Amino acid sequence: MRQMYCVFVVVLFVSTAINAFLTDKQGLILVPSVAFRDRSSTKSPADWTLYNQGWYYEENPIQSFLMEKSLELVVRQDLDSNRVKMFTAEGKDKTDLCIGGLSRPMCAKTDKDGRLKNAFTMTDQEVQAFRRSDDSRGKLLFETSVANKNIKETGEIFLCDDEGITFISDIDDTIKVTGVTSTTQTLINTFSGNFKAVDGMAEIYQYWQDQYNATFAYLTASPDQLYPFLREFFDRTGFPSGSAHMRHFTWLDVNFITFFMSSSYMAKKTETLKMFLQNTRNRRFVLLGDIFQKDPDIYANIYSQYPDRIAKIFIRKYADDNEGQERLEALFNDIPREKWGTFEKGADLPRNVL
């Protein structure tokens, strides 16, 4: 592993220099986002604040080639070079990205990492007009394009109104088999083969979506560079679509192994949960995560601040993990017993959660 890190550092400098001579392939990833009622709006019905999030990048063939060679030492089969390409691509900074189809021009510049993170407001009337006629769940589609380039993508924004119910779910080892407790397994399950779903999870999520007219938000420590592959996974395995709240990897994060293994995602996840709770009035939330990282700690903390808004907490663990059960009982000591539960497979989860 140690040699791998050294290779990456050298590679970074060499490849940036050589890369300029190779054909550059650019692209735009839009990560589904959310919209909340604008808290400063005095109108009735109130205006909306919509968030757009994405990443404008350029592939780096050399860096990608070298990372692929290093990964081959660990991931011996089915290494997906497209995932490596996205992971080693470089963000394009200070570029105007513009949302189309609005009554006024709406452009924002990418930040130093090539990320787009901007908010804009629309009246309720504009929002309703934007909803597709076949839309029953409050999803808006927006086209975002790179200024002066023929690059555009369609992004989704999910309306998160004051009433209703949202299921907020972790991804790795909650709905997708990742094996986060092992570095090797994480790399193999991240960079090779098809992403594999935890048994029965897509079915129960679909059921809850229909039963409760619920929206879904996926909260994950994975980097947004991998969003296109997660999307393929959601669609292939039948998970409801929803907003995604991800981290972003840059090579300044030292190396990608520590990025995957670090617990710095705790603050980011907490911040996202608070964003949902603070921007809605009576909406209720069901939180789903796993015992393998810090989800129980994050969720216990959020519960203590918003007990009335958290309808249920479900934590994935192995049924025979008694130590884990004890850890949860201690952590969730102040949470009424009927408000939390554990599961190993989708079939272990109750169909009625309210």
Does the footprint of ligand NAG cover residue 138 (CB under 6 A)? yes
Does the footprint of ligand NAG cover residue 149 (CB under 6 A)? no
Nearer to ligand NAG, 141 or 261 (CB): 141
Closest separation between CB of residue 48 and ligand NAG, Å? 12
- Alpha carbon 167 to its chain centroid, in Å, reads 13
Closest separation between CB of residue 162 and ligand NAG, Å? 11
Does the footprint of ligand NAG cover residue 241 (CB under 6 A)? no
- Alpha carbon 26 to its chain centroid, in Å, reads 22
Residues 6+ apart with CB under 8 A from 162: 37, 280, 281, 282, 283
Q: Which stretch binds ligand NAG (CB under 6 A): 11-19, 69-77, 136-144, 265-273?
A: 136-144
Residue 104 CB coordination number (10 Å): 6
Closest separation between CB of residue 169 and ligand NAG, Å? 17
Q: Side chain identity at 346, as an amino acid letter?
A: G
Residue showing tokens 């023929």? 150
Residue nearest to ligand NAG (CB): 138
The Cα-based distances of 173 to 168, 196, 223, 343 in angstroms read 14, 10, 15, 12
Nearer to ligand NAG, 276 or 303 (CB): 276
Q: Which of 339, 266, 262 is nearest to 301 (CA)?
A: 266
Q: Which stretch binds ligand NAG (CB under 6 A): 100-108, 158-166, 276-284, 336-344?
A: 158-166
Residue 69 CB coordination number (10 Å): 14
What percentage of the chain's residues is helix, strand, coil (to nearest 5)?
Answer: 35, 30, 35
Near ligand NAG in 211-230, by CB under 6 A: 213, 215
Q: Tell me the DSSP string of 288-335.
A: EEETTSSHHHHHHHHHHH-TTTEEEEEEE--TT-HHHHHHHHHHTTTS
Nearer to ligand NAG, 78 or 135 (CB): 135
Query: CA 106, CA 14: separation in Å to the nearest integer?
Result: 38
Q: Which stretch binds ligand NAG (CB under 6 A): 51-59, 81-89, 134-142, 285-293?
A: 134-142
- Please provide residue 22's backbone torsions phi and psi, each rounded to the nearest 5 degrees: -95, 160
Nearer to ligand NAG, 212 or 292 (CB): 212
Which of 98, 124, 126, 137 is close enough to bind ligand NAG by CB under 6 A?
137
Which of 164, 240, 242, 324 is close enough to bind ligand NAG by CB under 6 A?
164
Does the footprint of ligand NAG cover residue 159 (CB under 6 A)? yes
Check the CA dihedral 251-254-259-260 and report its sign: positive
Q: Which stretch binds ligand NAG (CB under 6 A): 75-83, 159-167, 234-242, 268-276?
A: 159-167
Does the footprint of ligand NAG cover residue 32 (CB under 6 A)? no
Nearer to ligand NAG, 127 or 349 (CB): 127
Nearer to ligand NAG, 89 or 159 (CB): 159
Query: CA 349, CA 76: separation in Å to the nearest integer?
Result: 35
Closest separation between CB of residue 159 and ligand NAG, Å? 5
| Per-residue x/- track, 186-215, ligand NAG (CB under 6 A) | ---------------------------x-x
| Chain residues in the site for ligand NAG (CB under 6 A) | 136-138, 159, 161, 164, 213, 215
